[in-house]
């Protein structure tokens, strides 16, 4: 506060009577919990002071809303003051959503905030317009995907200081690049979550999730804790948007539109703030009430099947009529819009989505989940083997379709480095439990490699982490970078200016592994894609031959593919993109 005091406020409805605030260098301050469960005190205290909450003689815990930790998640919290950074682009207002080309990156593998900042000019030159950080909320140990965070307000100091994080974001803004943050509001990690010790009401006793007791979003204190967290990242650090992890695991769905309203009403209208969800339930209604887009897992799964022919696990739901499913994704966003899946005939998944803009869907060929949740973390470059032509065709389809493209770190250089599941749990029992859990998860044939069991990489080993460095300087890395750069330049020049208000006209399968799709753009032109991800040439539909004769060819992923199309054939492993002018 301006007078040099700091206010400490804790919701602790089940705290022991001995609850006290401990500030280093000061006598403990007993705290009384009021009838609503709040304990509060204002104390003269300098910025930088270390503090904890003492529960009893054996337990002292960090602030659950700590802005900065001194010694990992079990140590002291540090008093901070808002502001304290001179922004070079205080006028930055963000970019329109339709301009988005997202690059998902793990800050630790990039070397931390400062080293990632050095990569930004190269990413901007590639055509990236949105940098998306995997979660950075403080987690136990030195390495983690980020989804084991337990202090959602505190950037993990392993990646750098708060000022280095602000400098990363500020530098991105000077390059006309937005920055989004992945946040986890559906669970806490298994190590360092002390909330049950003094606020057991934060969790439900009647509902379990894969991570333990469900967070009780029915309580206003819980809802406010996370809504204010979202606002904090958007204002204190000037992130341009948030990606909300696995919102299908938040048991109170009404909180999601409430949170979107909360932050949008408190951020100046001049700023463009983008909210994105990951949602296995395909709740299209969220995309009409406060959220810009959803990660399109349906699109990924069918494309992955088409490229790899894998049909184990959830890929089984996309192995029948994959061409038709891909066409539905391109035309309507989701494959599953209320019908049951093959693996679960009792569950109706999804809501109708055909009225939504193509930009309400984020299309990706890879991301942290879809690589890292494999037993051996293989990337598509490894899985497709010699079928790199099909992979290049799929990349062209992804980057030239009107849906918002997302690129996972390393894709742009054709990386074959795995992205494995990694942690650093210092409790040997927890580390062993994680090892055994991964082994159990893959005890059946969920790898596509045939009969198990398999010996998986140890998540807790440093070598597992080191193997994941994605920016390999291989002989053909420049070839892949040039391919991505050319496609993104074409997208920027010919598609993005026509994208706001674009709508799908139609899409259909022309073979089991081939599709055609058409979108009406905002200037009256028509964007047309033909993609054959199969291993054989097929007869082209008459519309394709007409496009080859009269439309403007924007791109062909195989040389002379348009000549073959004019002669009635759509070559294998090929994508062609056209613009038809006029009504």
Q: CB–CB of 514/541 below 8 Å?
A: no
Residue 438 has phi, psi (to 5 degrees) of -65, -40
Measured between its terminal Cα atoms, the distance across the chain in Å is 61
Look at the block and give the residue holding tokens 């309203």.
261
- Helix residue spans in 471-552 (DSSP H): 477-490, 542-550
Residues 6+ apart with CB under 8 A from 361: 293, 294, 296, 299, 329, 333, 334, 353, 403, 404
Residue found by looking up tokens 């986890």 in the block: 184
Residue 515 and residue 397: Cα distance in Å, rounded?
A: 10
- Phi and psi at residue 166, to the nearest 5°: -65, -35
Residues in the chain: 583
Dihedral class, residue 385 (left if φ above 0, else alpha if ψ from -120 to 50, else beta): left
Nearest to 54 by CA among 86, 22, 25: 22
Write the DSSP string, 130-191. EEEEPP-EE-SSS---STT-SEEEEE-TTS--HHHHHHHHHHHHHTT-EEEEEE--S---SS
DSSP string, 254-317: THHHHHHHHHHHHS-TTS--EEEE--TT--GGGGGTT--EEE-HHHHHHHHHHHH---SGGGGG
Going by C-alpha positions, the residue among 263, 331, 250 that lies closest to residue 298 is: 331
Of 98, 240, 245, 298, catalytic: 245
Is-contact 395 365, C-beta < 8 A?
Answer: yes
Active site residue 280: no
From CA 323, how far away is CA 303, in angstroms rounded?
A: 9
Q: From the candidates 148, 278, 298, 411, which is the catalytic residue?
A: 278
245 is catalytic: yes
Write a three-state SS string for 71-117.
ECECCCEECCCCCCCCCCCCCCCCCCHHHCCEEEECCCCCCCHHHHH
Asked whether 408 and 366 are in contact (CB, 8 A), the reply is: yes
Residues with catalytic function: 245, 278
């Amino acid at each position: 506060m301006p007078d040099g005091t700091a206010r400490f406020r804790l919701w602790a409805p089940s705290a022991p009577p001995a609850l006290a605030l401990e500030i280093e260098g000061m006598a403990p301050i007993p705290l009384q919990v009021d009838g609503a469960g709040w304990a509060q005190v204002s104390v003269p205290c300098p910025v930088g002071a270390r503090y904890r909450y003492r529960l009893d003689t054996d337990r002292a815990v960090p602030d659950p809303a700590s802005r900065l930790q001194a010694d990992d998640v079990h140590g002291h919290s540090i008093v901070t003051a808002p502001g304290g950074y001179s922004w070079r682009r205080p006028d930055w207002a963000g970019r329109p959503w339709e301009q988005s080309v997202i690059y998902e990156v793990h800050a630790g593998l990039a070397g931390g905030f400062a080293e990632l900042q050095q990569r930004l000019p190269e990413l901007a030159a590639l055509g990236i317009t949105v940098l998306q950080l995997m979660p950075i909320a403080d987690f136990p140990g030195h390495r983690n995907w980020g989804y084991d965070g337990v202090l959602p307000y505190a950037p993990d100091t392993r990646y750098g200081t708060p000022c280095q994080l602000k400098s990363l974001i500020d530098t991105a803004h000077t390059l006309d690049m937005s920055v989004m943050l992945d946040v986890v509001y559906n669970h806490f990690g298994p190590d360092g979550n002390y909330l049950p010790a003094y606020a057991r009401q934060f969790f439900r006793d009647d509902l379990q999730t894969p991570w333990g007791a469900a967070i009780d979003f029915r309580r206003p204190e819980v809802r406010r804790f996370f809504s204010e967290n979202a606002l904090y990242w958007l204002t204190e650090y000037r992130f341009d948007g948030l990606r909300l992890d696995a919102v299908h695991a938040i048991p109170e769905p009404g909180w999601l539109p409430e949170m979107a309203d909360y932050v949008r009403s408190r951020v100046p209208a001049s700023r463009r703030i983008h909210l994105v969800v990951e949602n296995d339930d395909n709740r299209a209604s969220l995309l009409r009430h406060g959220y810009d887009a959803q990660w399109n897992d349906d699109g990924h799964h069918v494309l992955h099947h088409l490229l790899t022919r894998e049909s184990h696990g959830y890929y089984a739901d996309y192995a029948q009529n994959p061409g038709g499913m891909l066409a539905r994704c391109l035309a309507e966003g989701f494959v599953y819009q209320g019908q049951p899946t093959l693996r679960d005939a009792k569950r109706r998944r999804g809501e109708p989505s055909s009225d939504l803009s193509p930009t309400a869907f984020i299309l990706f060929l890879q991301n942290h989940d879809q690589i890292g949740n494999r037993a051996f973390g293989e990337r598509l470059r490894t899985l497709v083997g010699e079928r790199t032509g099909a992979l290049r065709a799929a990349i062209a389809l992804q980057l030239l379709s009107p849906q918002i493209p997302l690129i996972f770190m390393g894709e742009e250089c054709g990386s074959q480095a795995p992205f494995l599941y990694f942690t650093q749990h210092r409790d040997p029992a927890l580390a062993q439990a994680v090892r055994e859990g991964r082994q159990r998860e893959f005890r059946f044939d969920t790898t596509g490699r045939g009969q198990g069991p398999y010996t998986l990489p140890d998540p807790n080993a440093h070598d597992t982490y080191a193997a994941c460095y994605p920016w390999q300087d291989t002989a053909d890395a420049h070839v892949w970078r040039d391919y991505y750069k050319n496609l993104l330049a074409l997208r920027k020049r010919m598609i993005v200016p026509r994208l706001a208000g674009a709508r799908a006209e139609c899409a259909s399968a022309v073979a089991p592994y081939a599709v055609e799709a058409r979108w009406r753009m905002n200037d009256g032109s028509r964007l047309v894609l033909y993609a054959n991800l199969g291993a054989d040439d097929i007869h082209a539909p008459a519309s394709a031959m007409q496009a080859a004769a009269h439309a403007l060819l924007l791109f062909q992923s195989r040389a002379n593919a348009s000549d073959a199309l004019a002669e009635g054939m759509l070559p294998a492993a090929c994508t062609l993109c056209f613009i038809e002018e006029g009504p």
